[in-house]
Amino acid sequence: MRGPGGVSGAPVDMAAQVGPLSLPNPVMTASGTSGHGTELGAYLDLAALGAVVVKSLSARPWPGNPPPRLLPVVGGMMNSVGLQNPGLAAWARHDLPALARSGARVVVSVWGRSVEDFGEVGEQLGQLVVEGGPASCVVAVEANISCPNVEDGDKMFAHSEAAAAAALEALVAGLGRAGLPVWAKLSPNVANLRDIAGAVLAAGANGLTLVNTLMGLALDPATGKARLGGGGGGISGPALHPVAVRAVYECRRELPGAAIIGVGGVTTGYDAAEMLAAGADAVQVGTASFADPRAPARVLAELEAWCQGHGLASISELVGRAHD
Ligand SMILES: Cc1cc2nc3c(=O)[nH]c(=O)nc-3n(C[C@H](O)[C@H](O)[C@H](O)COP(=O)(O)O)c2cc1C
């Protein structure tokens, strides 16, 4: 029943549409913040989330950066994990079966150090998905192109239209017949985000994940040395939230047909609602899970309560409302 302030206690249709992908709700985990498999399963029902996004995987194992890798900072944290991962094949053997049994919808994040690497990891994943079995739980691929491109002086793929597009083209070609939606995860550290977004969509991406971390540096003034083992690091958490909301808003305005997943400092249902209003079709929760491993489930419950409190019958009434 609707109250005087438009407040309603009626259930909200939480179903989310992310391009061609239908999800039961718009809240996912963010890559790299909930492990490679079912790590958060001890705290929440993975199948109750919109999707679980696994930590970025490459065609071959990668050791990552030296410790320390995490540092709390005002407004969030900095990390320099350096994309450590066991490689896609080992992940498929060790982590994927339990993920499939959990009933979660799985988004596989992939990365590479060269255009060829993106093609190779795409081929490995495409093959896995075509074979079926546990890989039937994979519903989308997220291309983490916020990683150094060894063929371009270690500049990030996501910092160049041409390199970003080349990585996406190689990945899409590698995936072949797998028929999965591909989301390109972009970096906020650019002045031409909308151009880069346009370039990856033209190269075959179906959606945009906005955004990866902001580049930062923390120094110990006594020694002059970096406080993270890898030198600089990526800033995430609440400090990143307005940056991500703006990225989503601007990309939605310029590219109204693109699927958009908003990520950056989503800590409460209100933050998720704001991201959806800016134009995201779904959101991801990352850093908040370090303080509270139940955060993705809590954000989902709070989002539903927020929608109820504001008299919304469905999430779709909220998506992109800032552009009405
Ligand atoms: C410790 C840590 C590891 C991360 N690893 C990855 C990764 O492997 N791949 C990726 O695409 N993003 C990675 N990210 C970025 C997050 O997925 C997310 O884009 C970013 O942290 C902003 O969201 P948040 O503020 O909710 O954390 C990582 C972030 C953190 C904090």
Tens digits of per-residue pLDDT, 258-303?
A: 999 999 999 999 999 999 999 999 999 999 999 999 999 999 999 9
User: Which pLDDT band holds residue 236 (cuts at 50, 70, 90)?
Assistant: very high
Residue closest via CA to ligand 1's atom 3 equals 32
Is 147 a residue of the active site? Answer: yes
Domains and CATH numbers, the chain: 16-66+85-216+236-323 (3.20.20.70)
What residues contact 187, with CB distance under 8 A and at least 6 apart?
145, 146, 156, 158, 159, 211, 212
The string of pLDDT tens digits covering residues 301-317 is 999 999 999 999 999 99
Candidate from 33, 58, 260 with most ligand 1 atoms within 8 A of CB, to mutate: 33
Would the pLDDT of 5 be above 60? no
Helix ranges (H only) for 31-181 are 88-94, 96-102, 115-131, 161-175
User: Which pLDDT band holds residue 8 (cuts at 50, 70, 90)?
Assistant: low
Rg (CA), the chain: 19
Task: Report the C-alpha gap between 296 and 288 in whole angstroms.
Answer: 8
The string of pLDDT tens digits covering residues 162-180 is 999 999 999 999 999 999 9
Residue closest via CA to ligand 1's atom 21 equals 236
Task: Report the C-alpha gap between 324 and 89 in whole angstroms.
Answer: 45
Pocket of ligand 1 contains residue 247 by CB under 6 Å: no
pLDDT computed for residue 2 by the predictor? 40
